């Protein structure tokens, strides 16, 4: 079988490996498609070399079918379509004890801390499987993981139908959040400096605004008749984006911190105090988010055709990472059957 592996120094290799039978409690998946995530790019850039063990099989956005079943696994049959929630929590830490095992202090993330899905066959704990409906295409289903991120972010915001939501940043996760928020009945505006990305937002019949061309707080005041927005999603990972998110909110507004802020940005805590805002961290997803993501994908509520800009064979993985790096693609899927 084919396996793509990160070997350090910005390089991936594709090698022929022998499949290993699933251990007790595991399921072996026949991986159909694996998406490339921003985290995979970070790993390729060496930013997580201290965390990953090389050679490292990346990949955690996938869909496939059950290929074989380890001892003690019930409820699954060979051929069942499935995706994977790639989180293995310890079950004992403070996060696990408050029913937030998805942010377990000793979390093992499949595809980062353990082998991922950029291989033809992937053994995973049966607990990590999430069932897919038979009529959902496996390409579309490969978007379950990033869609679950967006579902989690929207759920953390407490967004209600009729509320006004600002999304700061229109990469794949920002676009997904905008769609999930719209599905939840919100009015949505997306701030995005890239004209190309704004065009994509507009092609989905969402409003896109260039934050460099307007005073974002004044724009939102105009839009909301001076009320402010109810919810903002900070998906840019930039200090300016966080300024936009905090600066546009109404009294008791909620800003969800989705983007990775490697450098602590200056945050207008006076405004947080004055308007009694909440800034809410949101990381990965819980099982209910995964199940909702599958429902939304099956219902056609997620524009998978717009999001999936390319599908390439596994031996083109290096070129696919390069294309993602160049920023011209939304989501590239690797065909792992190839």
**Footprint on this chain of a second copy (rule: CB under 8 A):** 93-95, 98, 100, 103, 105, 156, 224, 226-228, 242, 250-252, 257-262, 264-283
Nearer to a second copy, 101 or 304 (CB): 101
Task: Check if 102 is active-site.
Answer: no
Which among 334, 331, 35, 332 has a CA at the least distance from the CA of 171? 331
Largest CA distance in the chain: 63
User: Could you tell me the smallest distance in angstroms from the CB atom of residue 105 to a second copy?
Assistant: 7
Report the residue number, 56 or 246, with the smaller CB distance to a second copy.
246
Catalytic residue among 3, 17, 42, 140: 42
> Residue 38 or residue 265: which is nearer to a second copy going by CB?
265
**Active-site residue, from 17, 39, 306, 309:** 39
Q: How far is the CB of 302 from a second copy (least distance, A)?
A: 23
Nearest to residue 200, comparing CAs of 175, 237, 221?
Answer: 175
Alpha helices in 1-143 (DSSP H): 38-44, 94-97, 138-141
Least Å from the CB of residue 191 to a second copy: 17
Dist CA 31 CA 245 (whole Å): 38
- Supply the minimum distance, in Å, between the C-beta of residue 148 and a second copy: 15
Separation of alpha carbons 88 and 68, rounded Å: 20
Cβ proximity to a second copy, 77 vs 226, nearer residue: 226
CB nearer to a second copy: give 30 or 163: 163
Strands 249-257 and 278-281, by their bridges, are parallel
Q: Is 318 a catalytic residue?
A: no
For 285, residues 6+ apart whose C-beta sits below 8 A from its C-beta are 85, 102, 145, 148, 149, 151, 152, 293
- Tokens (6 digits) for 41: 């790019």
CA distance 104 to 88: 9
CB of 32 to a second copy, least distance (A): 31
* Catalytic positions: 39, 42
């Amino acid at each position: 079988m084919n396996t793509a592996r990160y070997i350090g120094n910005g390089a991936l290799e594709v090698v022929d490996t022998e499949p290993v039978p699933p251990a007790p409690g595991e399921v072996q998946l026949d991986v159909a498609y694996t998406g490339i995530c921003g985290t995979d790019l970070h790993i390729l850039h060496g930013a997580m070399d201290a965390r990953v063990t090389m050679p490292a099989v990346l990949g955690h956005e996938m869909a496939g079918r059950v290929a074989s079943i380890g001892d003690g696994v019930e409820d699954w049959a060979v051929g069942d379509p499935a995706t994977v929630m790639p989180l293995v929590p310890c079950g004992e830490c403070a996060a696990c004890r408050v029913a937030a095992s998805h942010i377990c202090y000793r979390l093992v993330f499949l595809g980062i801390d353990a082998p991922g899905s950029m291989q033809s066959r992937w053994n995973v704990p049966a607990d990590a499987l999430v069932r897919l409906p038979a009529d959902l295409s496996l390409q579309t289903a490969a978007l379950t993981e990033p869609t679950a991120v967006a579902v989690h972010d929207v759920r953390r915001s407490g967004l209600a139908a009729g509320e006004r939501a600002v999304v700061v940043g229109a990469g794949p996760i920002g676009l997904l959040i905008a769609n999930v928020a719209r599905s939840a009945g919100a009015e949505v505006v997306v701030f995005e400096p890239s004209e190309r990305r704004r065009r994509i937002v507009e092609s989905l019949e969402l409003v896109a605004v260039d934050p460099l061309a307007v005073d974002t707080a004044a724009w939102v005041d105009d839009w909301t008749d001076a009320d402010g927005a109810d919810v903002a999603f900070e998906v840019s990972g930039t200090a300016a984006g966080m300024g936009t998110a905090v600066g546009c909110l109404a009294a008791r507004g909620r800003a969800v911190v989705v983007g990775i802020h490697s450098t602590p940005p200056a945050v207008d805590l006076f405004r947080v105090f004055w308007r009694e805002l909440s800034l809410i961290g949101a990381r990965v997803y819980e099982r209910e988010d995964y199940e909702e993501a599958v429902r939304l994908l099956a219902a056609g509520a997620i524009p998978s055709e717009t999001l999936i800009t390319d599908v390439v064979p596994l031996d083109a993985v290096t070129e696919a990472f390069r294309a993602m790096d160049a920023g011209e693609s939304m989501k590239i899927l690797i065909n792992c059957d190839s």
